[in-house]
Amino acid sequence: MKPVRLTIAGLQSFREEQVIDFTRLSEMGVFGIFGPTGSGKSTILDAITLALYGTVIRAERDTQGIINQAENTLTVSFEFELGTPACRKTYRAERRYRRRNDLSVTNTYSRLIEIAPDGTETVLADKDREVKAAVTAVLGLTADDFLRAVVLPQGRFAEFLRLSGAERREMLQRLFGLEKYGRQLAEKLSARSAQVDGEYSEVVSEQRGLGDASAQAVKTAEQAVDAARQAEQAAGRRLQQAQAAYDEAAGIRDLCQQLAEKTKQLEVHRLQAQEIASAEAAIAQAEAAARLMPVLEEADAAAKREMDAAQAAGQAVRKAAELAQKVEDYKQAWHQAEIRRQKESERLIARKTQLETLLVVEKEAERLAQEVSDQSRKHNDCLARHKILMADLANTEKESKALAEKEQRLNSDITAATVSAAHRALVADAAAQAAAVATAVSALNQAEADLKLREKELTDATCAAQTASQAVKKFTATLAALEDAEKEAAATSLPDISQLAEQEVKLVALKGQAERLAGLEEEQERCKNAITTLDQEAAELLARQKTAEASLRAAENEVRDAEKALTELALRDKRAMAARLAGELAPGAPCPVCGSVDHPCPATMPDETKAEADRQVLAAALEAAQEALAAARRTYEQVAGKLIEVRTKRDHTAERRQTLIDDIAAIRTLLPKWASSKTGLDLKQAIDTELARLTKQRAERQAWDKARQLAQQEIQTTNKRLADARAEYTAAQQRLVSADQEYKTALQRRDECQTNLNAAEAVLRKTLAGLGESVSDLRNQGIKRVQAIQQEIAAKDKAAEKARQELGLVKNRLQAYQQKLEELRQQESKLQIEITSIKSLLDEKKRQLTVRRQELTQSTGGRSVSELLADIDRQLAELEQLVQDAQRKYEKADQDHRLAEDEVARLTTLAKAARESKERAHSNLTAQLAREGFASAQAARAAFMPPADLAARKEKVARYHDQVRLLNAEIDALQKRLGGKTLSDDQWEKVATELEEAKQVRDMAIRQQAEADRVLKDLVAKHERWQELEKRREDLEKQRGLLATLRDLFRGNRFVEFIAQEQMEMVAAAASERLKHLTRGRYALEINSEGGFIIRDDMNGGWRRPVSSLSGGETFQTSLALALALSTQIQLRGKYPLEFFFLDEGFGSLDQVALDTVMASLERLHGEKLTVGIISHISELKQRMPRRLIVEPPEPAGRGSRVRMEMA
């Protein structure tokens, strides 16, 4: 931590805002803060603690009475840096208070701000308590820690030296950030223990859940896998044989079914013969009609051409007549336009000549109008300038008059403010005498304050002597009581702690066996219950298997019955086909089956309607029966597989139970006789009860040992305190004698100051009488009156000087205004002449313009000549355009009429040719219809087929004949492939049944093999996992033991206290080295068994004595050595160096040699990157400081304390 800037306003003796730049002040490592007593030096330290923690150590209730009596508000701001050279942060703590009454204050503003390197400010806290908490978190120090180790105010310097061991260790924990080795480390240890315990429980539970995963179980599962594999191979061979027989029978059955199907298809196909014959006749008619279609189309086209030509010729004749009438109308319009143009052109040309003459007059009028406008603008400008000039002239005359009056008034003021020299001299004497009175009053006040202080010190010394005497008596009585109590405690007898620990170790080992026994018994009971449940489940599954088997057999019978009925229906279909063939036989015609021409007993036709209905019913029944068979087979297989799984699981559980029974028996053989008959749970409860009893006895013995130890320590402490009290009593007696002498000296000094004040007041009263002033209270009103007279004279002098300066300015301005007034009058005369000249010229131009405009108005009626000329040109152009348009329309209509007459002649010729072509096409059509055999054109069109339809009809006929030939060929081929072989339904059913049974056996063998493989795989995995878990359990059990040992070691704050004690010994060692240097090798600092400091006097044979026996100077040297050692090792928040501390007392108790030694040590601290601030009023110390902050005392009823920096 490094201070940067401190700002104070309104705190105690400080009124105006004062800023202290610590950056410059601490450049040389050591700096001093100097000033007379009461100037406000210690208030600087109060400002730092107030800004950081909101407290002033010297004030009642931290803040009472801290605001300056002449102010109502107080403001402090402390800016500091924190961190290492590589990473530093800047903070600013700000607080503001206002007065609530004479003593109490109220905080109105608090804020802790972090300042980034770029100047950006971030508010970390903005309330009084929050700022204090935030500062404590940033620094890692409480307010008390800060005042003991960083800022050491008056009366607190040696406090750390005299702290008790426990208080000092707590402070060191905060200073060196040892909390992480206490509560934080304990929390980590607890968390780790909970994690290991949880992992251990999970491992044990998982081991229990794995069941029997022994090597023998794995071997048995491997044998089951080999047996299942051999059964699967035998079932596979049987399935191959059944599949071959089935494939051969299926081939014969398929060929028979194909032969019946092809025969049926042939009979159905021949039913289309009559339809094919009709189609062939229609195809012949369509082909003849197709040959006539070009002739028909030509006749239709000729008729249409003849009709279109006649219509076009009629339309051309009508159009030619309409165009002839339009030619006559356009010719008349052209003639009328020509006549109108001749009449209007003569009048318009005469008017145009007249207007061209007036155009010259119009241009002259425009020129005169422009000149009139220019002259009017000039005239208006001159009038405006004249008006402004007259206003400026009036203002200048007014200002000149006012300045002349002000000149007279200032001369009168100067005369009235002049003070005589005699009066000035008399007032100067009075001021000097008032200053002497003020000095005498201040000296008297100081002497009275010093007298009160000495009186208080005398009283304190008297009380201290009495208190020390009482302490000696108290500690003597306490020591006697403690020694008596120790004798009584030594007579008490308790069990030895080592015997209790040995018993506890044996019980802990037995408890582990009990926990294992309880776990095995619990798992054995679970296995027993599981076997009962599995037996019940196997019985239920066996019953379900028998039911499923019966359902399977019934479904198979239904399928066979349906297939048999369908076979009989197929035989009926064959007989029906034979009957249809017999119905087509004719006497003498060969039979299509056997070729015989003799038909003695043809087959009769059965009822086909009933056969088709039976076929549909039987097909649906067969499909339903097959689905029921598949469902029954799936149910049977599921129940059988589940039964095998349950029986396997039951066998494994029984084996695991037997293993557990054996383990339980083995454990019981290891138990003592009194525990062998108990269950694991009861044994564990009994052990827990006994362990609790042993723990209680051990705690009682430990408490007894600790009480004995504390009693011994208390006796030692009391002996030490008794020695300290006796030394303190001797020192108190010495201080009492010294305080009495100092009180008498202060009383004499107060009387001298009173005499001096009376003399100074008499002189001042006489001088004031000479000034005509009569004041009863010279100490207050007299001094104030002299100051008021001085202020009056100063005010008059200031007023006279101000009036003289203003008079000079007024004279200069008055002269300038008079000169300006003369210039303005000359300008006004010239401007008036210019206005008159411009007015005359303007009137002449207006008269000429009026004459020209009247002449134009009479000829044009007020319109522009140019506009009238343009209007005439436009009218002439319009007349010419009308004539040209009429001529173009006539010529266009005449041309269109001639073209129309040509078109009439052409279309009349075309109509005649079309009529002749129509007659020729009709004659040709009549001849072609007769040749193809059609009665009329409509009959030919009706027989015609589109090419696509005709091709489709031909393709259909061809397909019919091709299909007949194909079916005959396929029937011959199937008969050859059969070679006379047949297959009955019984034979087919037998082959299919054998195949199905072989498949079922093979599927069952595959499932059994898969189940055996799965069981083996699971056992292998469980066996490997069990081995991993066992290794992990052993490791976790070892960790639990180590963590239990650590928890015992870290119970309470023993480890933190150990580290704090080690840290304190390091600090004491460093402080001892500094103390040896400061005392020229005489004293060294050590730590006693209670954690307190003791002094070793090496010049007296290493005699050790308490620090309370040191003199004032020796105490200061010891405390300084300890503070320096502590400051070099303090790490704020456990990681930042301290970098500075303040010292506000002690140097007055040193002789010159000791002072030189201390200063030399402090000056060397700059090399250790530590800055030290010293507050003192010793002049010898001031001369040795390279940087000095001078605090000027406040003035009575005037300004507050002020600070300024001096450099050596």
The percent of residues in the chain predicted with pLDDT above 90, rounded, is: 6
Task: Report yes or no: 383 and 839 within 8 Å, Cβ to Cβ.
Answer: no
Rounded CA-CA distance 443/36 in Å is 13
Rounded CA-CA distance 754/746 in Å is 13
Whether residue 222 is predicted with pLDDT greater than 80 in this model: the reply is no
Task: Report yes or no: 68 and 1195 within 8 Å, Cβ to Cβ.
Answer: no
- Among 538, 650, 701, smallest CA distance to 211 is for 650
Ordered DSSP codes for 147-207: HHHTEE-TT-TTHHHH--HHHHHHHHHHHTTGGGGTHHHHHHHHHHHHHHHHHHHHHHHHH
pLDDT of 123 reads: 92
Rounded CA-CA distance 688/1042 in Å is 21
The larger pLDDT score, comparing residue 282 to residue 73, is at: 73
Lookup result for tokens 């002839």: 324
pLDDT of 397 reads: 80
pLDDT of 521 reads: 80
- 454, HSE (Cβ side, Cα atoms, 13 Å): 20
Whether residue 235 is predicted with pLDDT greater than 70 in this model: the reply is yes
Cα torsion 1115, 1120, 1121, 1125 to 10°: value is 140
pLDDT of 1147 reads: 63
Q: Please give the order of strands across the beta sheet that includes 105-115.
A: 18-21, 2-9, 73-84, 87-99, 105-115, 121-125
Strands 1171-1176 and 30-34: parallel
Residue 83: phi, psi to the nearest 5? 135, -170
Q: Where are the domains of the chain?
A: 1-150+1146-1169+1176-1208, 215-271+980-1030, 524-586+602-680
- Is 327 strand, coil or helix? helix
Do 524-586+602-680 and 1-150+1146-1169+1176-1208 have the same topology in CATH? Answer: no
Total residue length of the chain: 1208
The larger pLDDT score, comparing residue 1195 to residue 362, is at: 1195
| Structure tokens given for 430 | 């009075």
pLDDT of 1145 reads: 60
Cα 755-757-763 angle, rounded to 5 deg? 110
Tell me, what amino acid is at 1087?
I
Rounded CA-CA distance 311/302 in Å is 15
SS3 content of the chain, % helix, strand, coil (to 5): 75, 10, 15
For the chain, what is the mean pLDDT? Answer: 77
Tell me the range of 88-97, 200-209, 239-248 where mean pLDDT is highest. 88-97
- Is 1072 strand, coil or helix? helix
Rounded CA-CA distance 200/198 in Å is 5
Q: Please give the order of strands across the beta sheet that includes 1093-1097.
A: 1083-1087, 1093-1097, 1103-1106
Q: Which pairs count as long-range contacts for 448-457, CB under 8 Å and 24+ apart, including other chains?
A: 448/750, 449/38, 450/746, 450/749, 450/750, 451/743, 451/746, 451/747, 451/749, 451/750, 453/746, 454/739, 454/742, 454/743, 454/745, 454/746, 455/743, 455/746, 457/739, 457/742, 457/743
Whether residue 817 is predicted with pLDDT greater than 80 in this model: the reply is no
| Structure tokens given for 636 | 């049977």
Query: Which of 455-465 are b and which e, b meaning 16 or more Cβ less than 10 Å from the residue's Cβ?
Result: eebbeebeebb
Rounded CA-CA distance 1100/553 in Å is 120
Task: Report yes or no: 19 and 5 within 8 Å, Cβ to Cβ.
Answer: yes
| Structure tokens given for 181 | 């080795």
The larger pLDDT score, comparing residue 133 to residue 798, is at: 133
pLDDT of 933 reads: 73
Distances in Å between the alpha carbon of 411 and those of 166, 405, 805? 85, 10, 11
pLDDT band at 73 (very low <50, low <70, confident <90, very high): very high
| Structure tokens given for 72 | 């109502």
The larger pLDDT score, comparing residue 1092 to residue 657, is at: 657
The CATH number of the domain covering residues in 1-150+1146-1169+1176-1208:
3.40.50.300
Rounded CA-CA distance 559/978 in Å is 27
- Is 1079 strand, coil or helix? coil
Query: Which of 813-852 are b and which e, b meaning 16 or more Cβ less than 10 Å from the residue's Cβ?
Result: bbeebeeeeeebeeeeeeeeeeeeebeeebeebeeebeeb
In the CATH scheme, what is the homologous superfamily, with its name and number, of domain 524-586+602-680?
A: Helix Hairpins (1.10.287.620)
Ordered DSSP codes for 466-495: HHHHHHHHHHHHHHHHHHHHHHHHHT----
Tell me, what amino acid is at 834?
E
Strands 105-115 and 121-125: antiparallel
pLDDT of 4 reads: 92
Tell me, what amino acid is at 551?
S
- Is 30 strand, coil or helix? strand
Tell me, what amino acid is at 755?
T
- Among 967, 975, 963, smallest CA distance to 262 is for 967
- Among 790, 806, 815, smallest CA distance to 412 is for 806
**Tens of pLDDT, residues 726-743:** 767 776 776 677 677 777
Whether residue 21 is predicted with pLDDT greater than 90 in this model: the reply is yes
Largest CA distance in the chain: 189
Query: Which of 92-112 are b and which e, b meaning 16 or more Cβ less than 10 Å from the residue's Cβ?
Result: bbbbbbebeeeeebebeebbb
**Tens of pLDDT, residues 356-382:** 777 777 787 778 788 878 888 888 888
H/E stretch holding 92 reads strand 87-99
**Tens of pLDDT, residues 962-978:** 877 887 887 788 778 77
- 221, exposed or middle or buried, with CB in 10 Å at 0-12, 13-18, 19+? buried
Find the range with the poorest average confidence among 249-263, 597-611, 900-914.
597-611
